């Protein structure tokens, strides 16, 4: 039954005023004055432009936008939890009458409107209607599906391609955010053939001259970006359909786009970021819940993508990749000399190459890793004055990644993996392989020291990295410590080399009081650990059992601590302040861990100071981890990591004296 509302004569009121007041009421969760049937009539008439100019204050576009937005709010309000029951009943009645009068047909017709705002608002409302019908009935709206499929199959002659692309992408994102894999698969299956055809047109194999393609995408920057957005949500869907694998199967065309002189630079940048997220296995991280679903060809597709990257990454390709000056608040400067290059572009290209090398090395030896790193080094030096002046090749790591935590950890992990694989395959003299790695810019000891310099040897920042779910530092740290345990001499040599070359030090603004868990600088694009290892409940973070000297234990994650990170920070700060004032309970004094070695500043050459600061940082980190673990404030069991830290600390301390 329709709820009681104050009757109002709609015909006596200007339609624009009626719809505007109704929109304000719906936003507030209140029932508008007109009856549901009368309001629906005004909405549909306003959408199709049936009212004369004097009924909409001379602005038919504004009336259409308000009417379409009101439909969106009514559909959302009919299913929104916690709304007033009378308003919910009113909204449900309006939605029913809108469907009876085929509101979707009018919405898809507005996809071709001349005004861009009308097209966008119509696409957004259509997505809401499609999603509501899919969730409530389990069926797709045939009018919307047919229109989008028709547009995707004939993109060259379509004026509403951007609206269809945006609408489909929005529905897929919202389904993934709501963790509805069965509905996602049904939607992707309905568009699998048409989307594959569209992307084949967009990524057509052939010469760089885009004029020979079915559609000159280079002159449609917005559509190109929308296609790339759709590619990401399709790849993050976790289905095994053809459209889900477009990034890997068409990766050569994506890589060629970076060298296309007619392609918009922003589009090129989005292509690089798409490839980076695909290789780092965090596609859809901004909206998906519970991680990206895997399918049976996941590993094979990653190998195919990395293989194409290494095939394409020749010196000639690097020479044709465009990198513009970095953007700033007012836009992109092209006038003044000496501007900084686009760091996002440089870091993304570097990570795409490094991750591709890691994947190919894991499948088998024989990769000429030094030639790829040499090509990357030459590419980076073209755009960075600091790199051109650098005398130590490994300094590129700090110069490029010093202010981006997640990218820095991925790069460090990738470089370490490349070094360890090649070291185990070649088995030459230890010093010679380190010298070769240093000449290629991937000496793991130099990289670790540069990482410590970038955080000012602050152990509390390392603790943040160990607990954070947003970088792969834990995986990298364990692998490096295992290597460091067997190569203390190489670490000392790296300290000498770093002091001799006066490598640049970076001190990003961080909290460094050392009294608890501090919030580290988090970049815009967050990444997952290499290999997909994430800090998730019930999942082993790192395979500590791979070491003969490690305890066979799992690192169980404390669910309560993961879900209450803020509470944990407060507890840690309170615990640390209590310890600093000696406010521990008498019965627990003997249970406190022994303090780390009291390393006084050492006289002598500069490299001894670098060694001292590194050992002191690791010692303070271990002591703080022990205190947190004893108070049950650490989010997983770090016993094996603590044992490894103690071994490394003892070895380095004895060798430095």
pLDDT tens digits, residue range 101-113? Answer: 999 999 999 999 9
Q: Where are the alpha helices (DSSP H) in 236-282?
A: 246-249, 251-257, 265-279
Which tokens in the block code for residue 85?
A: 């029951």
Burial of 428 (0-12, 13-18, 19+ CB in 10 A): exposed
Q: What is the pLDDT of residues 245-279, one digit of tens each?
A: 899 999 999 999 999 888 889 999 999 999 999 99
CA–CA dist 555, 539 (Å, integer): 8
pLDDT at 574 over 70: no
Q: Are 244 and 235 in contact (CB under 8 A)?
A: yes
> What integer best gives the mean pLDDT of the chain?
78
Q: Take residue 140 and report the two structure tokens written for it.
A: 């797709």
Q: What is the pLDDT of residue 590?
A: 33
Contact 372, 353 (CB under 8 A): yes
Mean pLDDT of 89-97: 93
pLDDT band at 416 (very low <50, low <70, confident <90, very high): very high
Domain ranges of the chain: 1-139, 390-583+601-657
3-state secondary structure of 637: coil
Q: Which ranges of 80-138 does DSSP label H, i.e. alpha helix?
A: 85-100, 103-109, 116-137
Give the 3-state DSSP-derived string for 324-384, with helices as H, strands as E and coil as C: CECEECCEECCCCCCCCECHHHHHHHHHHHHHHHHHHHHHCCCCCHHHHHHHHHHHHHCCC
Q: Is the backbone of residue 616 left (phi > 0), alpha (psi -120 to 50) or beta?
A: alpha
- Neighbour-count burial of 344, counting CB atoms closer than 10 A to its CB (0-12 exposed, 13-18 middle, 19+ buried): buried
Is pLDDT of 573 > 70? Answer: no
* Interval 220-231: pLDDT, tens: 778 889 999 999
Q: Is the pLDDT score of 171 beyond 90?
A: yes
Torsion angles phi and psi, residue 409, rounded to 5: -70, -40
């Amino acid at each position: 039954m329709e709820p009681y509302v104050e009757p109002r004569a709609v015909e006596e009121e200007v339609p624009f005023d009626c719809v505007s007041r109704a929109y304000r009421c719906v936003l507030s969760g209140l029932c508008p004055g007109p009856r549901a049937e009368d309001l629906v009539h005004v909405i549909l008439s306003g959408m199709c432009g049936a009212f004369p100019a004097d009924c909409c204050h001379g602005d038919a576009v504004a009336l259409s936008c308000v009417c379409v937005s009101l439909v969106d709010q009514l559909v959302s309000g009919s299913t929104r939890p916690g709304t007033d029951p009378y308003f919910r009943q009113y909204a449900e009645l309006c939605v029913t009458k809108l469907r009876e009068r085929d509101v979707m047909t009018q919405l898809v017709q507005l996809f071709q409107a001349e005004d861009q705002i009308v097209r966008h608002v119509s696409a957004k409302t259509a997505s809401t209607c499609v999603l509501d019908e899919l969730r409530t009935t389990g069926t797709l709206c045939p009018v919307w599906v047919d229109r989008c499929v028709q547009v995707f199959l004939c993109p060259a002659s379509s004026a509403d391609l951007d609206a269809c692309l945006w609408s489909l992408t929005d529905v897929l994102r919202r389904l993934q955010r709501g963790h509805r894999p069965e509905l996602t698969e049904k939607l992707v299956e309905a568009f699998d053939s048409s989307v594959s055809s569209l992307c084949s047109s967009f990524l057509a194999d052939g010469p760089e001259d885009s004029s020979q393609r079915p559609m000159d995408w280079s002159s449609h920057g917005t559509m190109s970006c929308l296609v790339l957005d759709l590619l990401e949500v399709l790849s993050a869907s976790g289905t095994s359909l053809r459209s889900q694998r477009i990034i890997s199967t068409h990766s050569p065309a994506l890589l060629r786009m970076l060298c296309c002189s007619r392609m918009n630079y922003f589009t090129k940048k989005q292509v690089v970021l798409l490839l980076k997220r695909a290789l780092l296995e965090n596609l859809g991280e901004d909206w998906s819940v519970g991680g990206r679903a895997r399918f049976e060809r996941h590993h094979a597709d990653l190998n195919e993508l990395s293989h194409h990257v290494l095939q394409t990454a020749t010196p000639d390709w690097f020479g044709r990749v465009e990198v513009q000056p970095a953007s700033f608040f007012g836009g992109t400067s092209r006038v003044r000399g000496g501007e900084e290059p686009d760091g996002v572009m440089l870091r993304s290209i570097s990570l795409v190459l490094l991750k591709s090398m890691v994947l190919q090395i894991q499948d088998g030896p024989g990769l000429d890793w030094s030639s790829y790193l040499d090509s990357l080094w030459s590419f980076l030096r073209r755009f960075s004055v600091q790199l051109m002046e650098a005398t130590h090749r490994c300094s590129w790591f700090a110069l490029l990644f010093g202010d981006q935590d997640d990218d820095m950890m991925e790069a460090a992990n990738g470089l370490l993996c490349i070094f360890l694989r090649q070291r185990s395959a070649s088995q030459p003299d230890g010093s010679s392989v380190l010298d070769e790695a240093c000449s290629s810019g991937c000496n793991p000891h130099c990289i670790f020291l540069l990482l410590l310099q970038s955080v000012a040897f602050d152990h509390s920042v390392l603790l943040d990295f160990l607990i954070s779910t947003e970088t792969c530092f834990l995986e990298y740290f364990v692998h490096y410590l295992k290597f460091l345990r067997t190569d203390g001499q190489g670490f000392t040599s790296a300290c000498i080399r770093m002091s001799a070359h006066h490598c640049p030090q970076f001190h990003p603004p961080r909290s460094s009081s050392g009294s608890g868990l501090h919030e580290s600088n988090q970049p815009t694009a967050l990444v997952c650990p290499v290999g997909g290892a994430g800090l998730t409940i019930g999942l082993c973070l790192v395979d500590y059992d791979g070491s003969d000297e490690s305890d066979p234990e799992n690192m169980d994650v404390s669910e309560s601590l993961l879900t209450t990170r803020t509470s944990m920070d407060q507890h840690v700060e309170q615990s640390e302040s209590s310890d600093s004032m000696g406010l521990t309970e008498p019965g627990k004094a003997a249970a406190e861990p022994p303090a780390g070695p009291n390393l006084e500043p050492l006289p002598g050459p500069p490299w001894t100071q670098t060694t001292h600061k590194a050992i002191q940082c690791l010692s303070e980190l271990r002591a703080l981890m022990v205190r947190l673990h004893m108070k049950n404030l650490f989010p997983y069991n770090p016993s094996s990591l603590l044992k490894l830290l103690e071994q490394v600390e003892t070895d380095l301390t004895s060798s430095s004296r």
